[in-house]
A and B are shown apart, each in its own frame.
Chain A
Amino acid sequence: AQKVTQAQTEISVVEKEDVTLDCVYETRDTTYYLFWYKQPPSGELVFLIRRNSFDEQNEISGRYSWNFQKSTSSFNFTITASQVVDSAVYFCALRGMDSSYKLIFGSGTRLLVRP
């Protein structure tokens, strides 16, 4: 069975702090894809990043960085120098190779960045 666990329900930081959101996944597929989405207070889900199971290279995009480690089945997300606009719920998701291409979402981490 496939599963995504985001153990941190809510994180509160002060602006300019660095924060890491954890994501641990379970799958028996050898090929799979991992995603991060941001849900701001307005509600829409915004796609942030995708990572393939065969590509463990970490990625940095501005203040955002992602650490993918197959050995620990983790795909963690770090925001450097957080800003108030980063306040949102962040979801990690897993997709296997069945034809529906369903996403298995974690329960989300609510990030509050205080000024």
Chain B
Amino acid sequence: SQTIHQWPATLVQPVGSPLSLECTVEGTSNPNLYWYRQAAGRGLQLLFYSVGIGQISSEVPQNLSASRPQDRQFILSSKKLLLSDSGFYLCAWSGRGRPNQPQHFGDGTRLSIL
């Protein structure tokens, strides 16, 4: 069966520090991958998605970047965190070429910026 792993679960970082959140998927190949952010008490905002290795689409201009160095690995990064980067970050995958299938989400990372 397919599984998705995100880490770390919780992260506290000072303003101006770098960030690297990692997401990996197991049990499937060629997935579409997504990064979302959820501010406290708010809805989900799609940040990036990827339909293949090295292919990244950005939905919202911001302080973050994403990379997909391997088929089942998706990384969210920042060189210098801002206070506004605080939130709950969720990674998700879906089967490529299968629009009828749901996105499956990881457990998320709670990021607090001090």
Task: List the interface of chain A (C-beta within 8 A of B).
Answer: 33, 35, 37, 42-45, 47, 50, 52, 91, 95-97, 99-103, 105-108
The answer, among A45, A95, A101, A102, for a CB contact under 8 Å with B90, is A45
Q: Which secondary structure dominates chain A's binding surface? A: loop
User: Are the C-beta atoms of B104 and A43 separated by less than 8 Å?
Assistant: no
Contact-residue bracket for chain B: 20 to 34
Query: Which residues on B are within 8 Å of A, measured CB to CB?
Result: 32, 34, 42-44, 46, 49, 51, 57, 88, 90, 92, 94, 96, 98-108, 110
Minimum CB–CB distance for B53 against chain A, Å: 15
Known: A43-B107, A45-B105, A91-B44. A102 touches B49 (CB 8 A): yes
List of A residues within 8 angstroms of B51 by Cβ: 99-100
Given contacts A33-B99, A103-B103, A107-B42, contact A44 B94 (CB under 8 A): no
User: Quick check: A44 and B43 within 8 Å, CB to CB?
Assistant: no
Chain A: CB-nearest residue to B49: A100
B32 to A47, Cβ gap below 8 A?
A: no
